Structure formats: C-alpha cells, structure tokens
Structure 1
C-alpha cells in the first residue's frame, strides 16, 4: 500500500491527533512498517495505551481501504503531505495539515491566490468594498480564498462567482458539513467551478476551536491576506496573524473612523499592513506571479498589467455636494429610513428629499420599500 494512504489511514483513525502522527512520521520506522505493528510497538513509538490498543485492533489495509472508499464515494479527493500536488505555500507554513479533503478543481491550489476576510456583520460600506475588490482581484487572475462564513466571506465568494472567477472556500468542518447551513447553496456553486477544502475528516461538525484553526489554512494557501472590514476582536484578525507568522503579506482596507467595524483594519494599518483603496494597491505586489499565471490554460483572468492600470479606484468618481456626502457617510453604515435621516441631519423634509433625489439620479443610493434608503 502506498505511504500516502497509510498516512491518510492514521489521520482518519479516531483518537490519533496531529502530534501523534508527527511522532510516527519522524520516528525510526517507515510508514509501511506501521501496518504490522502490534500494541507494544505503538507504545514504544510514543503513543498512549488507549491509542495503541485501538490501532492494534483496527489499523490494517482493509480498514484503510474502507475509509478510502467512503471518501471517494462522496466525490472527495484526498491530498496528503506526501503528495507531489500538495500546495507548496501550505507546506512552507509552521503547521501544514497532514491531510486535506478537496471537492472541486484542485489545480486552483497552485494558482496565485489572495485571502479575503472580514467581519460576519459588515456595514453597507464593507459589503460594497468587498464585492468590488473581490471582483477586480479575481478579474486580474487571482484566486480568492475565504472561509464561507457569514458576512464578508460570503460577499467575496459571491462576487467572484458573479465575475466568473475562481474561489476557494476553506471549511472549519468536514467538506460535507456546510456551516453556516444557509450557505449550502453557495458551497454547491463554488464546487462547480472552484474548490471546497478542509483538513477535517468527513462528518466533522462545527465546534468551538475549529474555525480559528481553519484560518491558518486560509492564510497558508495564499500570497497574502486582505482584511476588508473588521472590528478589534474580529476572527479575521486571527487570519492576519497567521499570515504574518507564515511570512505572508497583510493588507487592510481603511473605513470610516466613526465605525467600530473599521477598528481592526485600522489597527493593522498602524502595525504596518499595506493600506488598500483599490485593486491596484494590492496587484502591484504580485505582478510577476500573475504574469506567470496568465500562461496557464485554465486561468481566465484578465492581464494583471491591464487590471492594475485600469483600476484607479474602487468606484467611479462622482462629484458630490457637502450635503450629499453627509448622507453617504450615514448610509455607508446601514440603511436609514426617512425619519432617521431627518432626526440625524436636522434638515427639513423638502431639502432632504431634494438631496436624496439627486443622489438617486447620480446612482449613489437606492430607495427601498418603506421609505428607506441604502448605499448602492
């Protein structure tokens, strides 16, 4: 039996964790020899008695084959640390997974990619910026990697799909256990043209601790991590920390100084993260990587050079009056009703209505049911 499948079998065995596998991998015995181990041999190799008993009783070629068939029956590809197609960037990190489970186009693991992460409860501003940047970076040839969480993660995945780009969703569960459940349809769409990826065996459900651990993979697969919008305690900052630990770039989008959802990103910028106000700010760091990627037949991205020169900002420049700008600032935080705007601005109805109408004509805001207004 190939060593990659023996490693897979160890990983699938209940009660055998990453540290135990590390002991066996770095030990004096080959993986092939492990198939013939008895309980005493496992203990001598550094495992606990309960682990040794379980392995001596269950671990053999028949058991491994049964686990292998279960995975392939679900259409899942197994990538082990011993494989030639294991992503190089991931292998360079401090804690690369021994095994990863993939559903979709695994070639994307070798494409230039960027992580995009942020708060699970973004403002209108955060959503709009995330959508625009994901679309532009994808259009330039970068694969967008995120965690399929609520908020910015979902916004970015969806924007890439709309742009016919490539995206990877890294799970904090098994790839057959979508979390949150409302993203099940989105996961299916990603699997068709992109990739679903996890280090957790099939059937692993969401639980505390798995998602922060998952973030190191998001950071490890990519050239850099872009924090779109995050408060000071956002989980996306864990991904940024993992990127720094792996020697990768960290980028952050500035936001309104009055918004708590911008504090985490602003703190990263103060600590040295590169400020990103348009796709070109990030693309200039990876010119050579994207030029090489353009030669690949399955990369449909636009020329990175063209994308960088064309995108001078996230949104087309529109001349706004001082009063129009005041309304935009309010609507970038959240939708506002007519009454809320009157209360916050202190204007009379006629003036407010005139300014709102001007912004609608300029396509800067939209009117929603119930006399509410939102940033477009």
Structure 2
C-alpha cells in the first residue's frame, strides 16, 4: 500500500460518523480510500453516504493533513494496519465491526500470533492478581500471546506474567499485547509506563483510536471488542457485578469466541461475575492447560502461519519476518524439506509419533515425551504449522513427514 493510500485510511479514521460500515461502502464504491478521500461531494453522496457524513468528511479534509500522522508513527516506530494489510490480525478481521485501522506500536509479528485474552476487575483481590500472573505466564510458555487492556490489577498482572515468562526463557517471540482505549502515543494509567515500554519490546501496544486521542470513560468498554476479537478465547479472572470485564465476554459471545471463567471463593464479591458466567455456560478452568487444549481445534480460525524471531519494528514499521517458531528443533535447509532434528522438546514429540506409527491423543503424546500438557499443546500447534505433524481430529495427532 502506497503512502497516499495509507494516509487516506488514517484520514478516514478522523472523520466523525464514518466507521466500519461506511468505510466498506466507500471501498465498494471507489475501490480505494484515496479516491474516496479526494472525491467530490456528489461522488460521495453517490457512494451511499448521507449528507451529514459527506459534510463531515469534507470539513475534515480541509483541516487534516495525513502526513502529520505518518511522520508521528514513524517517530514512534509504530505503524497503522488496515484491512488490506496481510499483517492485520485474521481473527479480528473476521469480526463484523473490525476497526478499519489498527495502530500498532511494538513487534509487528505479534499481530499474527494466536491470542488468549485475560480480563478482570480493576479492584482484584490478592487471589485475582496471583492467578492473572500465573495464567499469563503459563499461556506464554505454551506458545500463546496474552491480550489484555493495561488497566490496573488483573490486566497489569497478566501483562507482567507474560513479560516475565519471555524474560525467563530469553525467547525471541511476542508474548503480550495491550489494547488501549486511547492513542498509542499515550499510556494510561500513567504508573504503567514502564510496563508499557516492556510490552513494546516483547509484544505491542494496540488501539483503534488515532494518535493524540486521550483516555475517556466511554473508550474503554468500546476497546473491549478488540480484546475479544483478537483472541480465540477470553478468560475472566475476577469480575464483580457490573465489571467492564463482563462487557468483554458479551463481545466474545457475539463474536463466536470461547469464554472461560476462573472460580473463586463463594463468599467473594469479586468472583460473583465468574460464577454467574459459569452458570450461563462459560467453561470453568483452573489452569492454562485447560484453555490450551480446549482451543487447539480453533487454531484453524487463524488462516495464516505463525511467525517468529522478529525484532522490534523497523523505523518504517513495515517489515515482517514470516519464519515460524522452531521450538528448540534444529531444522536445516527447511525450504528444501530436508531437516536434521536434534534435541529439544519438539524433537521428542516427533520421535514419539514416529515410533507409534499411528495417531496419538495429546495426553498420550505428553506422557510419552515427558512434557507437560500445557507445553505439548503449544508444541503440537507450532509443529503442525511447520508441517511436521497432522491434526487427525479428536485431539489426536500423527507424523506428517519424517526427518532424515
């Protein structure tokens, strides 16, 4: 996408009253947004916009220069992804009201990873803070990326757990994204500035709000649709009645995504929302392993390979390395299909499946390879993406090709 077209997408986000539905209408009529941004009033009316929306677009065009935002994004080492960019997250693109532009500050490969959302109250108990960190740590260790909102309490501890999990292993892959209710050039709450800087290094700050837009009360419930839309599943740690986390689960249900809830003490108001969700059909979970195994069949929703080994964004924010995770397996000359497997947990999985010469259940593989169930799920996911194993259904896997 050239600069003039990307600038037009940024410009359209600045026009009051033009959201996902009207952006689609403009694309259908004009073919691209640069043509729409420079169109006459008559052409805009012909596209299906009402007169008020046309007047708003023309007024914005007279006051706004997209070059300013393009320069600011470059200075932030950030980018603006559009529906037409291959890096735009596939699960979010499947959502009816997916934002036309997603602002990303951090690792661009984070946009192509599989997510689990962790959400909850900003007044979490000690139990809630502890469990947020534990689940996030274990999910990242299993190969998933944790999505949350950088809010106080549950969100903060989830991000911290994800960052710590990557730091402990020195893994060069994304671990967490923070979806914000304001522009990516702002951090809120301000005490999370250091955490936000860490997230930029091992994940990304994400928002559909343009640069310069500050936090506002109505922004945060609206951004929750992105948290759930990015994620294949949403876990609620603690949520008293009326918690914003319950809004996220409503979005998740509407988007056809799985909802998980952590049980807590029956006497704790902070767990009341979780218990109600469980009664309404949310899946009760007590470990990250429960989530990882449950979501394995949903990975087909991703629709694109999982990249890895990508450093922070280049100054232009446009380069993506689409290599897949190597899972501690030494694969040489992979492009030619010739591989030498030596050491690492992935090698153990391949050896177990080769010896069995039949499909094996994920639990059986974990036992034979002496790997925890939460870790085996992530390994199988990535080995499948690399073409080494085949998902035979019913949580059974077999070897798809043999190493030399």
Same fold (TM over 0.5): yes
Alignment of 1:54-69 (within 5 A): 55-56=57-58, 59=61, 63-69=65-71
The equivalences for 1:1-376 within 5 A come to 3-13=5-15, 16-27=18-29, 30-47=32-49, 49=51, 51-53=53-55, 55-56=57-58, 59=61, 63-164=65-166, 166-287=175-296, 289=299, 296-297=324-325, 305=366, 306-308=371-373
Q: Residue 283 of structure 1: CA displacement?
A: 1.8
**Structure 1 residues 307 and 171 mapped into 2: Cα distance closer, same or farther (>3 Å)?**
farther
Where structure 1 has 5 or more consecutive residues not aligned to the other structure, the ranges are 312-376
**Once the 2 structures are TM-superposed, how far is the Cα of residue 201 of structure 1 from its aligned partner?**
0.2
24-33 or 92-101, which deviates more: 24-33
Secondary structure of 1:197's counterpart equals strand
How far apart, in 2, do the equivalents of 1:299 and 1:77 lie?
Answer: 29
Q: Name the CA shift for 1:232/1:167 in 2 (closer, same or farther; >3 Å).
A: same
Contact 1:37 1:56 in 2 (8 A): no
TM-score by length of 1: 0.74
SS in 2 for 1:65: helix
- Displacement after TM superposition at 1:255 (Å): 0.2
In structure 2, C-alpha distance between the alignment counterparts of 1:310 and 1:88, rounded to whole Å: 24
Shift of 1:74: 2.5
| Count of residue correspondences | 309
- Give yes or no for contact 2:20–2:97 (8 Å, CA) kept in 1: no
Runs of 5+ unmatched residues, structure 2: 168-174, 309-322, 329-343, 347-361, 377-404
Cα distance 1:223–1:54, how it changes in 2: closer, same or farther (>3 A)? closer
Q: Would the aligned equivalents of 2:19 and 2:100 in 1 still touch at CA under 8 Å?
A: no
In the TM superposition, residue 32 of structure 1 has moved relative to its aligned partner by: 4.4
State how far apart, in whole Å, the 2-side matches of 1:13 and 1:162 are.
40
In the TM superposition, residue 127 of structure 1 has moved relative to its aligned partner by: 1.3
Q: Distance in 2 between matches of 1:136 and 1:259?
A: 25
Tell me how far 1:240 sits from its aligned partner: 1.0
CA RMSD across the alignment: 2.9
Contact 1:4 1:82 in 2 (8 A): no
Preserved CA contact (<8 Å) 1:93 1:220: yes
- Say which SS state the counterpart of residue 59 (structure 1) adopts: helix
Q: Deviations over 1:24-66 (max 9, x none)?
A: 2333665343254223333443445565346446639x93334
CA contact (8 A) 2:121 2:270 kept: yes
